[in-house]
Amino acid sequence: MTDSAGSGSGSGSSSATGRTVFLVAHTGRPAAIRSAELVVKGLLRSGLGVRVFAHEAADLPLPPEVELVTESTPGVIDGCELLIVLGGDGTLLRGAEFARATGVPMLGVNLGRVGFLAEAERDDLDKVVDRVVTREYEVEERMTLDVAVHTNGDVVHRDWALNEAAVQKVSPERMLEVVLEIDGRPVTGFGCDGIVCATPTGSTAYAFSAGGPVVWPEVEALLMVPISAHALFAKPLVTSPDSVLAVEVQSGTPHGVLWCDGRRMLELPSGARVEVRRGAVPVRLARLHHASFTDRLVAKFALPVSGWRGAPH
């Protein structure tokens, strides 16, 4: 689902245009420091305001006009029309937490290795600034997951994920015994290293590494992918976006752990039940290109396509 960039604009701080952009950067990367300096100067020259976390600004050579904020709560993005994130997948997922909480679109610039969430590469920074200034971008909504953890029949924790919610073993010498359920009906049980419940966006992340299918972003579906399962029937499952997926950690098995997007962790005692469903709140991504996901897939994984002639004319 897309809409025009103009609908995401809000009142800025003290910028000449009344427009403000929030910048998040992985300041531990020298490339991010150089990129942040280029982006900030380009936006300021065009009259846009720039807002940055104070703890990140300490590592960045930024002009005094940049607005600094000390808190790391979603409210600091109020009034910003866009969130620009410079970094690898981890930094982009950190930015997604603010994007989801506020509804502000996120534009990612990949400074890491693969960066499927990113819309641009470090060589595109001039284009990024130009497109932001002229509002030449579209906004696309990506499905998220809502996650609920039950113990003894009570919900003890709620979380969310853009890529995946993964139930994993803790002890390297012991498998995690689980039973999988879809829409209130048991499917199968086995010992494994874990289970990944993913969105189409997350199909190219952890689920891909575990042997799951690549799902195009416009496909609305949920994925359930076993990790190193000791079973004959342990195939990736693709369900309706309205399905409810559940992973039950069997009693008597060592405790497990829940990871949401590899960022937020919760220990799961034996007998815990993790329910995953389509998230009520999407993450909005700013898009600069109209390139198909197929082309993105080929480029990101450097897939061999030599010899392709295309459909006959």
11 carries a ligand binding annotation: no
207 carries a ligand binding annotation: yes
The residues annotated as belonging to the active site are 89
Residue 138: its H or E element: strand 138-142
**Taking residues 38-67, what's their average pLDDT?**
93
Q: Where in the chain are the domains?
A: 20-142, 145-278
CATH of 145-278, one of 2.20.25.240, 2.60.200.30, 3.50.50.60, 1.10.1760.20: 2.60.200.30
Q: Two tokens at 225? A: 């992918």
Coil, strand or helix: which one is 104? coil
206 carries a ligand binding annotation: yes
| Interval 232-285: pLDDT, tens | 889 999 999 999 999 999 998 888 999 999 999 999 999 999 999 999 999 999
Burial group, residue 164, by CB count within 10 angstroms (0-12, 13-18, 19+): buried
More confident residue, 292 or 113: 292
Please check whether the domain covering 20-142 is classified as CATH 3.40.50.10330: yes
Q: Does pTM top 0.85 for this prediction?
A: yes
234 carries a ligand binding annotation: no
Q: Which of 71, 69, 62 is nearest to 43 (CA)?
A: 62
